[in-house]
């Protein structure tokens, strides 16, 4: 993944496009190392552990109830209610105020074409080069960036038919507009139930992070760009929309707080089918080479599990390996 900070349904989709909120990385003192001394065969179905959520990530205690999964299996599920804001990181920033602003004053942008850009003033200034001559997200006289700076502006820009006055804007929706966070509840199977054939992700949320935020599906970047807008993500790959509040569209390191004793990639959270989603790379910076189409594989310690894609790919996992619970 290259991060150019000099490094490196349609309505649902269009709303999720404006969840732009940045988060600071967590302090290393918050990291937890998993080493329970147990091993499992590759056939073992190891599911969600409620004890692994970060303090403050949940708004109520996890309970267990009967449920029916997407494939018709009657089983038990955990009821997980998350706060909807990261318990271990800050939100923002998103859009730089001026074309002279450096990368620290903005978040990131990815369009699914293999690049992750720092949203600096220089990035805003050069959008014409990247996307065409119709782009001008700043006042040429002052250099000030056109930013949605109110709830009215935010919600007007987060529509399929963006009004002309909100085109050529960098879109920011403050979490303060929505009570400081939008909580949500998920039913996730206590023991994963694998399927014979994988299932597509679709446009619905696909799981929860250990720090209390939703794993969202791919951001609808084509719709965003069609309105000459940049719906900025913060450095954690998250942003805010009027209905779902803050949510993640990419893994950039902010949620990697649950280290593994064997050097395996850190646990980020869980998919709706109960399988863990781990970071893309392990402690040595290596990516797994034997992932299936869902970006999953098995090992003797964790059983089947997923590894997140890079932010540049605008996705977390490729499909579901197991029958899913549901968002309530």
Q: Where are the domains of the chain?
A: 1-328
Q: How high is the mean pLDDT of the chain?
A: 87
Section 105-129 average pLDDT: 95
Section 187-198 average pLDDT: 97
Section 155-180 average pLDDT: 90
Residues 6+ apart with CB under 8 A from 179: none
Could you give the 3-state DSSP secondary structure of residue 231? strand
Residue 27 pLDDT more than 70?
A: no
**115-119, 180-184, 254-258, range with the lowest pLDDT:** 254-258
Residue 88 pLDDT more than 50?
A: yes
Contact 17, 223 (CB under 8 A): yes
Q: Considering the entire predicted model, what is its pTM?
A: 0.86
Contact 1, 264 (CB under 8 A): no
Contact 306, 277 (CB under 8 A): yes
Q: What pLDDT score was predicted for residue 226? A: 92
Helix (H) or strand (E) holding 214: strand 214-215
Section 137-157 average pLDDT: 95
Sign, CA dihedral 121-8-236-153, equals: positive
Q: What pLDDT score was predicted for residue 77? A: 98
Task: Match 């179905």 to its residue by tokens.
Answer: 45
Percent of the chain past pLDDT 90, that is, above it, reads 75
Ranked by mean pLDDT, the top range of 15-24, 43-52, 102-111 is 102-111
Q: What pLDDT score was predicted for residue 31? A: 40
Q: What pLDDT score was predicted for residue 3? A: 46
pLDDT per residue as tens digits for the range 262-303: 899 999 999 999 999 999 999 999 999 999 999 999 999 999
More confident residue, 47 or 233: 233
Q: What pLDDT score was predicted for residue 257? A: 63
Residue 20 pLDDT more than 70?
A: no
CA 136 distance to own-chain centroid? 28
């Amino acid at each position: 993944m290259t991060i150019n900070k000099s490094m490196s349904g349609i309505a649902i989709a269009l709303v999720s496009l404006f969840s732009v909120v940045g988060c600071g990385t967590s302090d290393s003192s918050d990291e937890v190392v998993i080493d329970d001394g147990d091993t499992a065969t590759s056939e073992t179905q190891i599911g969600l552990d409620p004890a692994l959520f970060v303090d403050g990530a949940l708004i109520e205690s996890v309970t267990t109830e009967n449920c029916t999964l997407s494939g018709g299996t009657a089983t038990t599920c955990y009821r997980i209610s998350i706060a909807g804001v990261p318990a271990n990181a800050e939100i923002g920033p998103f859009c730089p105020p001026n074309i002279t602003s450096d990368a620290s004053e903005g978040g990131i942008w990815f369009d699914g074409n293999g690049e992750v850009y720092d949203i600096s003033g220089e990035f805003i200034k050069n959008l014409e080069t990247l996307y065409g001559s119709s782009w001008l997200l700043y006042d040429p006289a002052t250099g000030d960036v056109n930013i949605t700076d109110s709830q009215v502006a935010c919600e007007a820009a987060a529509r399929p038919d963006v009004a002309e006055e909100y085109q050529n804007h960098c879109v920011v929706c403050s979490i303060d507009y929505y009570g400081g966070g939008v909580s949500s509840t998920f039913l996730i199977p206590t023991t994963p139930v694998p399927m014979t054939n994988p299932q597509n992700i679709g446009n619905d949320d696909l799981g929860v992070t250990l720090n209390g935020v939703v794993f969202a599906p791919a951001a609808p970047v084509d719709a965003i760009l069609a309105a000459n807008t940049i719906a900025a993500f913060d450095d954690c790959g998250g942003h805010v929309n009027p209905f779902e509040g803050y949510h993640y569209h990419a893994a950039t390191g902010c949620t990697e707080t649950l280290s593994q004793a064997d050097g395996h990639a850190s646990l980020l959270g869980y998919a709706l089918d109960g399988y863990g989603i781990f970071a893309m790379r392990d402690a040595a910076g290596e990516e797994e080479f034997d992932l299936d189409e869902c970006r999953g594989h098995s090992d003797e310690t964790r059983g089947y599990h997923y590894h997140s894609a890079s932010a540049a790919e605008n996705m977390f996992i490729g499909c579901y390996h197991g029958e899913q619970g549901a968002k309530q």
